[in-house]
């Protein structure tokens, strides 16, 4: 069959093909041929209820899978009998009925998704498997915390059944691994795949080869993915629509570790800015023009081919004095949490949190709180001789925390009070 038949699946575009002409064009054949394949070989063609024979559509990913099965059958010298194809067609029809919500019994709702060494499994509330998708390559083994940032359940098509979004990383023999975002419908069919293909040119270097995922959110107008060109410092925020079409929204001179979506349509992003060697917190409007982080003109972190606009708000947060004893030049972004009357931003280093910044819903910094683990780790570093003072006399806590905010007229410094725990 013509080589262009796999183009839709490989490119990540699984938009339905509407009508016999589009389906036939996808294969590079005439309408009569693909119609015969449906009747005799179980080609997965879907029909709209009440639309007549002409109201058909097909998903490129299903056509690609069907084409691969045909190649396997022919390679094994096997030609299925006509009645086998009729049963296959019946199975496709039943699947369509279930997908359109016309079955007599309600579809089982996905409760959670479990990733194994080489499979993805959707299960119901009782733990029973609803569907399983097997991968040809072994999946990278992430910690539970990192895996949770790569999986999302979200109703993208309004059928009251959640789609499954999974940012997969494969072991392909190379380092680093290949990554892509997959979207499955509630029945486990692959709707589309997205493999990041960005080129960001900074004064210091260009990032264009090995993009991966650090966080994933859905809501507020789309699917939001924080990308990194590992192991370097290029960062990007991409929005995808329900069909998997990507749009670059935010370019960062540093990694974007955390995302949060607000009902108001604002996207919150946090990570580390490499020029300022400190955590950052940014506010982006879902319908704003694409933006870039504010960097010093002429520095190696200045993006040369990036959007000229800036985020609505962009803060550089203070590092903890525990970062260097921990072995890092700066603190990381650990959490962004939207509450009914405030936004909480937490910095730290994975195995322990450090500071918790409280912002109002209009992003005015209110106060900063050291975590309980900050005090414990502080005492530990003092005993080990990595700090020359104790928590009670910590100079960082003796004066207000200093935040910097970018504004169109330049940077401004903001002193934010500490809220220290009451001493016994």
User: Tens-of-pLDDT digits for all 424 residues of the chain?
Assistant: 333 333 333 334 446 777 888 888 888 888 888 888 887 777 888 765 444 444 677 777 778 777 876 665 554 444 444 334 333 333 333 343 334 343 333 456 888 898 889 999 999 888 889 999 999 888 988 887 888 899 999 998 888 888 999 999 987 665 556 899 999 999 999 999 999 989 998 887 888 878 999 999 988 789 999 999 877 778 999 999 999 999 999 999 999 999 999 988 999 999 999 999 999 999 999 999 999 999 999 999 998 888 999 999 999 999 999 989 988 889 999 989 998 899 999 999 877 788 999 999 999 999 999 988 888 899 999 999 999 998 989 999 999 999 999 998 899 999 999 998 755 4
d(CA 10, CA 13): 8
Omega before residue 176 within 30° of 0, cis: yes
Please tell me the distance from the alpha carbon of residue 356 to that of residue 336, in angstroms, as a whole number: 10
| Predicted pLDDT at 143 | 81
Residue intervals in the chain for CATH 1.10.10.10 = 3-99
> Residues 269, 237: contact at Cβ < 8 Å?
yes
Pairing of strands 112-115, 129-134: unpaired
Q: Residue 211: which H helix or E strand, with range?
A: strand 211-218
Structure confidence by residue, pLDDT tens digits, 353-392: 889 999 999 999 999 999 888 888 999 999 999 999 989 8
Give the position of tokens 């990308």.
Answer: 227
* Strands laid side by side in the 56-58 sheet: 17-18, 56-58, 46-47
Overall fold of domain 3-99: Arc Repressor Mutant, subunit A (1.10.10)
Q: Strand 291-292 vs strand 246-252: parallel, antiparallel, or unpaired?
A: parallel
Residue 104: per-residue pLDDT: 31
CB atoms within 10 A of CB 274: 24
Question: Burial code of 226-245, b = ≥16 C-beta within 10 A, e = fewer?
Answer: bbbbbebbbbbbbbbebebe
Predicted confidence at residue 209, as pLDDT, reads 79
Return the SS3 of 166.
strand
Q: Which residues neighbour 24 within 8 Å (Cβ) at sequence distance 6 or greater?
A: 30, 31, 33, 34
- Say whether 377 sits in a helix, a strand or coil: helix
d(CA 188, CA 132): 7
CA angle 211, 165, 256 (to 5 degrees): 40
Residues 85-113: tens digit of each pLDDT: 333 333 333 343 334 343 333 456 888 89
81: helix, strand or coil: coil
């Amino acid at each position: 069959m013509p080589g262009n038949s796999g183009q839709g699946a490989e490119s990540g575009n699984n938009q339905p093909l509407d009508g016999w002409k589009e389906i036939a064009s996808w294969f590079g054949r005439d309408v009569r041929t693909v119609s015969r394949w449906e009747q005799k070989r179980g080609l997965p063609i879907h029909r709209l209820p009440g639309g007549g024979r002409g109201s058909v559509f097909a998903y490129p990913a299903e056509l690609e899978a069907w084409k691969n099965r045909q190649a396997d059958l022919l390679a094994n010298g096997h030609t299925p009998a006509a009645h086998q194809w009729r049963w296959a067609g019946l199975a496709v029809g039943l699947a369509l009925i279930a997908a359109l919500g016309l079955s007599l019994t309600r579809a089982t709702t996905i409760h959670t998704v479990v990733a194994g060494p080489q499979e993805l499994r959707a299960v119901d509330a009782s733990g029973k498997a609803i569907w399983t998708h097997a991968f040809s390559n072994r999946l990278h083994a992430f910690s539970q915390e990192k895996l949770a940032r790569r999986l999302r359940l979200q109703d993208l098509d309004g059928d009251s059944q959640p789609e499954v979004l999974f940012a997969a990383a494969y072991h392909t023999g190379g380092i680093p691994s290949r990554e892509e975002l997959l979207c499955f419908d509630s029945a486990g069919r692959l709707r589309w795949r997205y493999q990041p293909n960005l080129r960001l040119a900074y004064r210091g270097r260009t990032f264009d080869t090995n993009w991966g995922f650090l966080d994933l959110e859905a809501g507020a107008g789309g699917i939001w993915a924080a990308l990194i060109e590992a192991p370097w410092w290029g960062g990007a925020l991409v929005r995808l629509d329900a069909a998997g079409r990507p749009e670059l929204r935010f370019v960062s001179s540093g990694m974007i570790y955390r995302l949060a979506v607000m009902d108001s349509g604002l996207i919150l992003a946090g990570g580390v800015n490499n020029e300022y060697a400190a955590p950052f917190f940014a506010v982006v409007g879902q319908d704003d023009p694409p933006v870039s982080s504010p960097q010093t003109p002429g520095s190696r972190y200045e993006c040369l081919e990036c959007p000229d606009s800036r985020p609505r708000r962009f803060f550089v947060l203070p590092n903890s004095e525990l970062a260097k004893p921990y072995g890092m030049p700066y603190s990381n972004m650990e959490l962004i949490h939207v509450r009914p009357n405030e936004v909480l931003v937490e910095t730290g280093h994975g195995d322990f949190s450090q500071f918790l910044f409280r912002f109002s819903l209009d992003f005015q910094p209110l106060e900063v709180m050291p975590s309980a683990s900050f005090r414990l780790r502080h005492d530990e570093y003092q005993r080990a001789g990595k700090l020359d003072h104790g928590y009670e006399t910590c100079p960082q806590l003796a004066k207000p925390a200093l935040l910097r905010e970018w504004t169109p007229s330049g940077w401004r410094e903001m002193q934010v009070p500490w809220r220290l725990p009451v001493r016994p």
